[in-house]
């Protein structure tokens, strides 16, 4: 960092009234100040987007810095001592770029702690040294001689990691006790001493520390659209001026050596398209475009953004770019109309009327994933598939999910597809996994039910066994629209499905080529796709690119459908019983459900099948 706002501009921070804070302070810094002003805590855990860039002032040319520098120069800019510690670099004073202030810190600390080169690096010894420094500061007879001390402990998850007390190493247990004693000490709370613990994921920090009433946990979110636009303007200004600014990561070039940022997209357009990105990742995208000596066009930007978000989520999500829309879906007329109407609400920003989520259920091979992707293609918003975020290490599963949810909240509107939802999302049971499943379930259920994100995060839960999905997730206000999926019900639907699968796989198939087909209700969409692909292989083997009737007939004759009749019937009954709109059901099921005691009869049949399958 080569450029900072004057330290004196923040003399009011954490000392004066909260309304005197500089206007450019982010919301999380204001929350920290308010918690400190209340006098209830002196120990804070900052988590979330902790490795991002933070503006140093309101001025577009003011520059950006990392979190430790921002804390030293801005939040604690008027304090006498700011000490920063991590396992890699050890303990060191931070002055926010002010050499005179740094000199004063070193002189004071040398008298009381020895030469900086002699300071220990081991966390146990460092925390003990800090404890002695703070105790000595407390014992000053003259209150005017007491120093204002801020201690920033980076990568706190390695100092007090999550886990049972018995699993903690001796040193980690000592660290945890010492931090709790700092937080609970009433004398420390009365003087200007603050401890800032920084961790990527809150779930990786020990629960006894995070859940203590004497500790304040504050999330640093991903940047909002105003922050991203301000950064894009700053980056554009640096590129146009041929300066590197105060951000070492940006190697800005002049307009003669490459296209300046924003040549093809304005800062406002960049900000609108970059939701879900941190400023660090946005800087990477802009730098790649600049180094490639071309402007930032929307298509390339979206591709770079996709890569950065997948990397930001550590490969736990997969971007899906659906090439199809609901027009390609066969049958399901009522369901398609409902999805089209909901997509129209989101496109016209009528989010208050959009559903929180959907539950797509039905037998295997009915096209649940295909329908979800076609919906995303129709609504025209990003679509993500949630990959396996579970880990064998304690706390890592929850940390992975926390990271993904943070990105989703910033990325919206977005469609989130969770396949095999009954297995992926867990339940309230905590047996055999130290409570991981119940915590994952709680995090997902809480996010799905947060109405602030109605129409912004659209959940699509896919399962062939909706009866195994916890009722908490499929209630109204979460996955509230339950759409059952069925095999093609009549010959017209079967023929339409053949043509749809041919279009999906780019197979030349004319309607008149199809032979008579009378297997309605027996072939799934996956079965029909397999027959189409087999027919294509036969045509290619004969040197033709267009299917002949004999190709389809032979492939159809040779195909043997799955024989798992009871399992399929069970899955179909479960989908019917979960349906939330009568018009979603085919006529035969609509009639059975509408009969007196119809639902009870279906439930009895389903229970009987479940009992048979268990035997």
pLDDT digits (tens, 9 = 90+) for 95-105: 988 899 999 99
Distances (CA, A) of 392 to 283, 331, 397, 497: 34, 42, 8, 42
Lowest mean pLDDT segment, chosen from 50-64, 201-215, 352-366, 393-407: 393-407
Distances in whole angstroms, Cα of residue 139 to Cα of each of 106, 132, 133, 188, 317: 21, 11, 10, 11, 53
What does the pLDDT average to over 252-265? 43
Q: Average pLDDT in the 395-415 region?
A: 81
- In the chain, what are the helix, strand and coil shares in percent, each to the nearest 5? 50, 10, 40
Beta strands across the sheet bearing 414-418: 317-320, 383-386, 414-418, 457-463, 357-361, 481-484
Report the C-alpha gap between 430 and 437 in whole angstroms: 6
Greatest C-alpha distance within the chain: 100
Please list, residue by residue across 224-238, b when 16 or more beta carbons sit within 10 angstroms of its beta carbon and e when fewer do. eeebbbbbbbbbbbb
Q: How far apart are CA 551 and CA 488, in angstroms?
A: 22
Residue 458 zone, left/alpha/beta (φ > 0; ψ -120 to 50; rest) = beta
DSSP label at residue 182: H
Do the beta carbons of residue 535 and residue 558 sit within 8 Å? no
Question: d(Cα 410, Cα 382) in Å, to the nearest integer?
Answer: 12
The predicted pLDDT at position 92 comes to 94
Regarding beta strands 317-320 and 357-361, do their DSSP bridges make them parallel or antiparallel, or are they unpaired?
unpaired
**20 phi and psi angles, rounded to 5 deg:** -90, 0
pLDDT digits (tens, 9 = 90+) for 303-333: 777 887 887 777 788 888 777 788 888 778 8
Statement: residue 28 has pLDDT above 50:
yes
Rounded average pLDDT over 549-578: 87
Residue 431: what pLDDT?
57
**Distance separating alpha carbons of residues 345 and 179, to the nearest angstrom:** 50
Does residue 263 carry a pLDDT above 60? no
pLDDT at 317: 83
pLDDT at 39: 83
CA distances from residue 340 to 107, 264, 354 in whole angstroms, order as listed: 69, 33, 11
What is the per-residue DSSP string for 145-176? GPPPEEEEESSGGGTSBSS-GGGS-HHHHHHH
Kindly report the average pLDDT of the chain as a whole number.
Answer: 83
Per-residue pLDDT reduced to its tens digit, 506-555: 899 988 888 887 665 578 888 888 999 999 999 999 999 899 989 988 99
The pLDDT assigned to 536 comes to 93
Q: Measured between alpha carbons, how far is 91 from 120 in angstroms, rounded to an integer?
A: 8
8 Å CB contact between 484 and 525: no
Q: Looking at the predicted structure, is the pLDDT value of residue 152 above 90?
A: yes
Reported confidence tier of residue 7, pLDDT bands at 50, 70, 90: very low
Q: Strand pairing of 414-418 and 357-361?
A: unpaired
User: In 3-state terms, what secondary structure has residue 217?
Assistant: strand
Using the Cα atoms of residue 95, residue 101, residue 103 and residue 104 in order, give the sign of their dihedral: negative
pLDDT band at 217 (very low <50, low <70, confident <90, very high): very high
Mean pLDDT of 211-225: 92
Q: What angle do CA 242, 243, 247 make, to 5 degrees?
A: 140
Distance between CA 254 and CA 258 in Å, rounded? Answer: 7
Q: What is the pLDDT of residue 432?
A: 56
Average pLDDT estimate for 477-503? 87
Pick from 395-409, 425-439, 495-509 the range whose average pLDDT is largest: 495-509
CB–CB of 150/82 below 8 Å?
A: yes
Query: In 3D, which of 370, 380, 367 has the Cα closest to residue 340?
Result: 380
Can you give the three-state secondary structure of 75-108, one letter per residue? HCCCCCEEEEEECCCEEEECCCCCHHHHHHHHHH
* Higher per-residue confidence, 82 vs 370: 82
Per-residue pLDDT for 14 more than 80? no
Q: What is the pTM of this model?
A: 0.73
C-alpha to C-alpha distance for 494 and 270, rounded to whole angstroms: 46
Contacts of 479 (CB under 8 A, 6+ apart): 356, 357, 358, 359, 448, 459, 461, 473
pLDDT value at residue 298: 74
**For range 138-152, the mean pLDDT:** 88
Alpha carbon separation from 414 to 240, 276, 455 (Å, rounded): 34, 10, 8
Residue 244, pLDDT > 60, answer no
Q: Is the pLDDT of residue 247 over 60?
A: no
pLDDT at 10 exceeding the cut of 70: no
Helix 279-291 to helix 225-241 angle (10° resolution) is 30
| Distance separating alpha carbons of residues 134 and 182, to the nearest angstrom | 10
DSSP three-state, residue 315: coil
């Amino acid at each position: 960092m080569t450029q900072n706002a004057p330290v004196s501009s923040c003399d009011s921070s954490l000392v004066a009234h909260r309304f005197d804070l500089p206007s450019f302070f982010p919301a999380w810094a204001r929350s920290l100040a308010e918690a400190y002003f209340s006098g209830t805590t002196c120990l804070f855990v900052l988590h979330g987007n902790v490795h991002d860039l933070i503006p140093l002032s309101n001025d577009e040319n003011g520059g950006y810095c990392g979190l430790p520098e921002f804390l030293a120069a801005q939040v604690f800019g008027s304090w006498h001592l700011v000490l920063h510690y991590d396992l890699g670099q050890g303990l060191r004073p931070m002055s926010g770029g002010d050499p005179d202030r740094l000199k004063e810190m070193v002189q004071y600390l040398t008298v009381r702690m020895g030469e900086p080169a002699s300071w220990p690096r081991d966390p146990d010894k460092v925390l003990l040294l800090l404890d002695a420094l703070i105790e000595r500061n407390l014992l000053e007879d003259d209150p005017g001689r007491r120093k204002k001390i801020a201690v920033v402990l980076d990568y706190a998850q390695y100092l007090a990691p999550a886990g049972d007390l018995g699993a903690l190493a001796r040193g980690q247990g000592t660290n945890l006790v010492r931090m709790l004693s700092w937080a609970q000490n009433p004398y420390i709370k009365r003087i200007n001493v603050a401890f800032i613990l920084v961790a990527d994921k809150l779930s990786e920090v020990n629960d006894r520390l995070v859940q203590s009433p004497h500790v304040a946990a504050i999330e640093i979110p991903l940047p909002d659209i105003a922050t991203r636009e301000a950064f894009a303007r700053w980056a554009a200004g640096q590129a146009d001026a041929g300066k590197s600014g105060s951000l070492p990561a940006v190697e800005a070039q002049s307009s003669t050596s490459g296209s300046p940022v924003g040549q093809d997209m304005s800062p406002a357009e960049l900000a609108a398209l970059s939701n879900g990105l941190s400023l660090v990742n946005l800087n990477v995208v802009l730098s790649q475009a600049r180094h490639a000596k071309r402007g930032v066009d929307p298509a390339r930007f979206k591709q770079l953004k996709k890569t950065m978000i997948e990397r930001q989520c550590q490969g736990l999500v997969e971007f899906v770019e659906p090439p199809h829309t609901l027009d390609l879906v066969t049958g399901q007329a009522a369901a398609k109309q409902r999805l089209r109407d909901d997509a129209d609400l989101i496109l016209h920003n009528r989010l208050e009327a959009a559903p929180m989520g959907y539950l797509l259920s039905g037998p295997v091979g009915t096209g649940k994933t295909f329908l979800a992707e076609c919906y995303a293609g129709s609504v025209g918003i990003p679509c993500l598939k949630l990959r396996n975020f579970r880990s064998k290490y304690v706390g890592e599963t929850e940390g992975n999910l926390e990271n993904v949810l943070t990105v989703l909240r910033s990325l919206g509107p977005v469609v989130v597809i969770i396949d095999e939802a009954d297995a992926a999302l867990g339940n309230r049971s905590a047996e055999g996994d130290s409570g991981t499943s119940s915590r994952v379930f709680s995090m997902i259920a809480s996010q799905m039910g947060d109405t602030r994100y109605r129409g912004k995060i659209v959940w699509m839960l896919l399962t062939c066994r909706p009866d195994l999905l916890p009722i908490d997730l499929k209630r109204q206000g979460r996955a509230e629209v339950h759409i059952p999926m069925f095999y093609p019900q009549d010959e017209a639907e079967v023929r339409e499905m053949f043509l749809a699968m041919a279009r999906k796989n780019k197979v030349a198939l004319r309607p008149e080529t199809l032979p008579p087909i009378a297997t309605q209700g027996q072939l799934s969409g996956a079965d029909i796709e397999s027959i189409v692909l087999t027919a294509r292989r036969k045509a290619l083997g004969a040197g033709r690119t267009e299917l002949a009737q004999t190709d389809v007939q032979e492939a159809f004759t040779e195909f043997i459908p799955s024989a798992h009749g009871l399992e399929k019937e069970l899955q179909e009954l479960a989908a019917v019983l979960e349906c939330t709109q009568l018009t979603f059901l085919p006529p035969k099921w609509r009639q059975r459900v509408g009969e007196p005691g119809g639902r009870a009869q279906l439930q009895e049949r389903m229970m009987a099948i479940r009992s048979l399958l268990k035997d």
